[in-house]
Structure 1
C-alpha cells in the first residue's frame, strides 16, 4: 500500500485500504443542532455560546447540543441545563476577579468579544429545539454526500453522522481518502455553513474512532477542517493507552466499571488480556465471563479489527421487528395518570401499525419509577405525592447513575393470541398488563410500550394457516370458526332428520345446533366490529397524513395529565 505522512502520526491511506481493500470515511457534523441555531441567528457556530434546550421544562432537562465555544469551559456535549448555568456562574465569578474594578459593565455570548473584553460577563443562548428544522438541514447535507457516493455506499448512522465506503470512488476521482474527506467537509460548510469533522479508516470501526477521538487533536486547516486517519497499526500505536476507555465506540460506563474492577483500563490492556494463557488471571476466558458473546466484539475492537462491511449493513435483515414508543415524563405521575398516558401510547402504537400495514402478536411494557417514590422530599412538579410512605415500600430497589435508590422498574409482556392492529385489543391488553405489573403506591417517571412479533396481513394469514390449533367442539362459549361450522353441521343433521344416525336425541341435537348458531352469530358480530374499527383507524391515519398528527383528538387526550396532544407537536420527544 502506498503511503504518505499525515498529521495523526499514522500512515495515510491511498486507494487500496485495509486487508479487504476497503477505505471508509466517517463524517460527524460538529454540534449539529447548535450549529443550525447559530446559522439561523446569523452567528458564528464556532464562537457563539449556545445550547439547544427547552427552558420551559425543568432545569434538569438535557441540552441536545452545546456549542464548541461553551465546551471550552469543560462542559460535556449532553450536559443538563442546570449544569450549564452552574458552570457559567463559576466562570463569571472567576472573570469578575480579573475585571476592571471587579465588576461587569455588560455581557456577551461571543467567545471572541469575551476574550478581548474582560469587563463583560459570560452569557449563553438557550435555543428551543426545532427538530423539523434539523431534519431539513440533515436532508440537505445528505444531498451533499450523494454528490460523491451512491446510496448503497452510504450508511446514515444518526441525524448528524454517516459512514461512506469510499473505495469505489478514489481511483475515478483521482483523490486520496484524505483529499476526498476534505472536499466533502468543505462542501458541507459551503452549502449549509455547518462545520464537520471526518475520520478515515481501513474498516468502519477505525473510521469512527479516528473521527471521535483522533480528529479532536488534529490541527485544523485554514478552513477549520479536521480529518484524521487510522489503520490497525497506527490505532495500536496511538490509542492503546488512551483514556478514558469510554471514548471508544460501544464502551459505556457499565463496561468501563467491569473492566476497571479487573485492572483493565485501556484498549491495550484488553488486547494483552486476550493473549493470556489459560493459567493466567487475565485471559480471553475472563472477558467472555464478563461480557458473554459481546467479548468477541470487544477483543476485535481492542486490536482494531472489524469484519463488518458496508455491504453487510445493506444486506442485513433482522429476524424480528418491533415498534416502540417511550417517554420520560416532565414530572412524577401517580398510578391513574400514568395509566392514562400508557393508554394514549397504546392507541398511538396501534395507529402506527395501521399506517405501516403491519399487525402485532406481542406487547411489552416497561415502567420506570420516580426517585421521589422512596424520598418524597425530592418530589418535583406540583402536588403529586406517593400514596404510601416511602418507609412502607418493601419491593426491589435499584441504584441509578447518581447512586440514588429508586424502585426497580417494572416490565413484562403478553401474547395477544393472534396478529392484530386493533386499537381496542391493544389498549385492553396494555391496560391489563399495566394493572398487573405497576405498583399503585409508587410514582411513575418513564414509560415504554412495545408492539412486537410484527407481520404483514399476508404473512399473518400464512402463519395462521400453517399453525395447528386443537378445537373444542363442546365449548359453546368458544367463539371460533370451528364452533360455527359445527353448529351448521348439527343444524343440518336436525333439519335432515339424521340426528339419530349419530346417536343424538332430538332435544340434544336442537340445543347443540342452537349453541353453534349463537357462536356463529358472535363470531360474525366480532368480525363486523373489527372491520368497522379497521375502517375508522384507516380514516384517522389518512386524516393525520393530510392535516397533521394533531388533527384528530380523542376524549382521553383532553383528560388531566394526558400527554398525547403535546407529543403530537413533538419529534423524537422534542419540540418540532
Structure 2
C-alpha cells in the first residue's frame, strides 16, 4: 500500500471562548465579577445574548427572553452589548492564532477551527500549541478559552465543550469512535431539539445507539441527514479547515420597546439601521447584490422581502433606496412592528466602490444578521 492509503491524520484545534460577551463585561467591570450577568436588554422584550457561568447555574441561557431569565435568577444583572469591543478582542485572538497557522476557519466572534498539522513554528504537537494559545489569550486579553484537540473538526468541536470553562480535551484518532459513542446525541452539531426528540422516540440516546443503525435505516428516518449522522456516530469527518470561508450576509436588526406603526416612524427607524449596517459593510470590505428586509409584528408574525440586482449594489445611497423600496411594499402595516432588520447578501469579495484589494474580515467567518441591540 502507498502513503495515500494511510493518510496522516490532521491535527485540528477548536478554540471556544468561555461565555465570551459576559466574560468581557466582567473583565471590564470589576463589580460584575462573580455575579450572574446577562448581556442583552432587560426590558420586557429583551433577549439574553450571552450569560455568565454564574447565571448559567440558574438555567439562564442565550436566546432566552429576559423576563424568563429574571424569573430563573431574580438577581441577574444585565449589561448592554458592546459589539465593537467584542470584535476588537476577536481580532486580538485571531492574531494569536495566526502565530501558529494560516489555516483558520472562524465560526463566530468567539470560536474557530485551526489546522496545525504543519504549524508555522515547527512545534509539531497540537496539544502543546493549544496550551500555548490558551495561555496567550489569557495573558493578552485577560479572558479564558477552552480547546478541543483531535483529528477532525467534528470531534474537536465536541471536545472543546467537554471541560468548560477554561479547560482542554484531547481525543486521539484511536479514541474517536468510543468518545462519540459515549455522548448524548443532542450534543451532536446539527441535532436540534426536534431531531433529538425523534431519536429518543426511536430509542437513540447516545452516539453508540446511533452507530448501531444502518445508513439505510437512517435515510428512511432522517432523510438527507443520514450520511452525516452515519459518519458522525463513527467519529468520521473529512471536512478540511477552510480559511477562505466567505460571509453569507452582513446585516442587523433592532427590537423596539414600543411598537412602531406609522409610516414616518418606520422610515426613520430604517434609516438608523441603514447607517449601522452600511458601516458594517464597509468595515467588512464586501459587496453584494441582494437587499433583504425583515419585519416582525406585535403578534410575532414575521414578514420578509428582498430584491436582487444583476450587479453589485453601487453605494450606500443605492442600498438605502432599495431598503426603503422594500419597506414601502409593506406599508401601511396592519399592526405595530416590534422588530425591523436589513441585510446585504449575495456577497462577493469586492469592497463597495473598489475593483481590487479586497480582504476577508478577521475572525468573523460566515456572518449572520447581528442584533444591533434592544431599543429602550
TM-score computed with the length of structure 2 as normaliser: 0.75
Q: Is the Cα–Cα contact under 8 Å of residues 358 and 454 in structure 1 kept in the other structure?
A: yes
Q: Is the Cα–Cα contact under 8 Å of residues 18 and 145 in structure 2 kept in the other structure?
A: yes
1:451-471 CA-partner distances (Å, limit 9, x unpaired): 4456799999xxxxxxxxxxx
1:364-379 equivalences in 2 (<5 Å): 364-371=292-299
Q: Is the Cα–Cα contact under 8 Å of residues 178 and 200 in structure 1 kept in the other structure?
A: yes
> Does residue 128 of structure 1 match 2:21?
no
Q: Specify whether residues 238 and 360 from structure 1 end up closer, same or farther in structure 2 by C-alpha distance, changes over 3 A only.
A: closer
2-structure distance, mates of 1:128, 1:331: 18
Question: 2:37 is matched with which residue?
Answer: 51
Classify the secondary structure of the residue corresponding to 1:173: coil
1:314 to 224, 243, 247: 243
> Does residue 328 of structure 1 match 2:276?
no
Q: Specify whether residues 78 and 455 from structure 1 end up closer, same or farther in structure 2 by C-alpha distance, changes over 3 A only.
A: closer
Q: CA deviation at 1:199?
A: 0.6
Question: 1:510 is matched with which residue?
Answer: none
2-structure distance, mates of 1:204, 1:456: 26
> Does residue 215 of structure 1 match 2:163?
yes
1-structure distance, mates of 2:11, 2:94: 20
Q: CA deviation at 1:434?
A: 3.5
Classify the secondary structure of the residue corresponding to 1:215: coil
Q: CA deviation at 1:298?
A: 3.5
Q: CA deviation at 1:140?
A: 3.0
1-structure distance, mates of 2:173, 2:136: 29
Classify the secondary structure of the residue corresponding to 1:61: coil
Question: 1:62 is matched with which residue?
Answer: 47
1:161 to 106, 111, 128: 111
1:174-213 equivalences in 2 (<5 Å): 176-212=125-161
Q: Specify whether residues 242 and 427 from structure 1 end up closer, same or farther in structure 2 by C-alpha distance, changes over 3 A only.
A: same
1-structure distance, mates of 2:52, 2:154: 26
1-structure distance, mates of 2:167, 2:284: 41
Q: Specify whether residues 145 and 167 from structure 1 end up closer, same or farther in structure 2 by C-alpha distance, changes over 3 A only.
A: same
Report the aligned-residue RMSD. 4.0
Q: Specify whether residues 239 and 166 from structure 1 end up closer, same or farther in structure 2 by C-alpha distance, changes over 3 A only.
A: same
Q: Is the Cα–Cα contact under 8 Å of residues 53 and 61 in structure 1 kept in the other structure?
A: no
Q: CA deviation at 1:200?
A: 0.7
Q: CA deviation at 1:228?
A: 0.6
**Structure with the greater alpha carbon radius of gyration:** 1
Q: CA deviation at 1:227?
A: 1.2
Classify the secondary structure of the residue corresponding to 2:190: coil
2:70 to 85, 90, 93: 85
The structure whose residues are more often helix, as a share, is 1
2-structure distance, mates of 1:240, 1:143: 35
Structure 2, gaps ≥5 residues long: 1-5, 354-369
Q: CA deviation at 1:191?
A: 3.0
Q: Is the Cα–Cα contact under 8 Å of residues 253 and 371 in structure 2 kept in the other structure?
A: no
1:39-79 CA-partner distances (Å, limit 9, x unpaired): 3334795xx01414356x51442333322233233433554
Q: CA deviation at 1:304?
A: 1.9
Relative contact order: is structure 1 or structure 2 higher (C-alpha 8 Å, sep ≥ 6)?
A: 2
Q: Is the Cα–Cα contact under 8 Å of residues 287 and 352 in structure 2 kept in the other structure?
A: no
Q: Is the Cα–Cα contact under 8 Å of residues 48 and 63 in structure 2 kept in the other structure?
A: yes
Q: Is the Cα–Cα contact under 8 Å of residues 38 and 76 in structure 2 kept in the other structure?
A: no
Q: CA deviation at 1:20?
A: 4.1
Q: Is the Cα–Cα contact under 8 Å of residues 360 and 421 in structure 1 kept in the other structure?
A: no
> Does residue 296 of structure 1 match 2:227?
yes
1:15-50 CA-partner distances (Å, limit 9, x unpaired): xxx9542111112221222222333334795xx014
Question: 2:10 is matched with which residue?
Answer: 22
1:81-125 CA-partner distances (Å, limit 9, x unpaired): 434432334xxxxxxxxxxxxxxxxxxxxxxxxxxxxxxxxx554
Q: Is the Cα–Cα contact under 8 Å of residues 218 and 226 in structure 2 kept in the other structure?
A: no
2-structure distance, mates of 1:132, 1:426: 23
Classify the secondary structure of the residue corresponding to 1:273: coil
1:554-565 equivalences in 2 (<5 Å): none
Q: Is the Cα–Cα contact under 8 Å of residues 357 and 456 in structure 1 kept in the other structure?
A: yes
Q: Specify whether residues 271 and 339 from structure 1 end up closer, same or farther in structure 2 by C-alpha distance, changes over 3 A only.
A: farther
Q: CA deviation at 1:166?
A: 2.0
Classify the secondary structure of the residue corresponding to 1:73: coil
Structure 1, gaps ≥5 residues long: 1-17, 90-122, 217-223, 277-281, 372-405, 461-570
2-structure distance, mates of 1:422, 1:225: 44
1:135-534 equivalences in 2 (<5 Å): 135-147=87-99, 149-150=100-101, 152-169=102-119, 172-173=122-123, 176-212=125-161, 214-216=162-164, 225-231=166-172, 234-243=175-184, 245-260=185-200, 262-276=202-216, 282-288=217-223, 292=224, 294-310=225-241, 313-316=242-245, 322-334=249-261, 336=263, 337-342=265-270, 345=273, 361-371=289-299, 406-407=300-301, 409-416=302-309, 420-421=313-314, 427=320, 429-437=322-330, 440-453=333-346
Classify the secondary structure of the residue corresponding to 1:330: strand
Q: Specify whether residues 449 and 198 from structure 1 end up closer, same or farther in structure 2 by C-alpha distance, changes over 3 A only.
A: same
Q: Is the Cα–Cα contact under 8 Å of residues 285 and 351 in structure 2 kept in the other structure?
A: no
Q: Is the Cα–Cα contact under 8 Å of residues 297 and 335 in structure 2 kept in the other structure?
A: yes
Q: CA deviation at 1:233?
A: 5.1
Classify the secondary structure of the residue corresponding to 2:16: strand
Q: Specify whether residues 215 and 453 from structure 1 end up closer, same or farther in structure 2 by C-alpha distance, changes over 3 A only.
A: closer
1-structure distance, mates of 2:49, 2:326: 33
1-structure distance, mates of 2:280, 2:109: 22
Q: Is the Cα–Cα contact under 8 Å of residues 218 and 230 in structure 2 kept in the other structure?
A: no
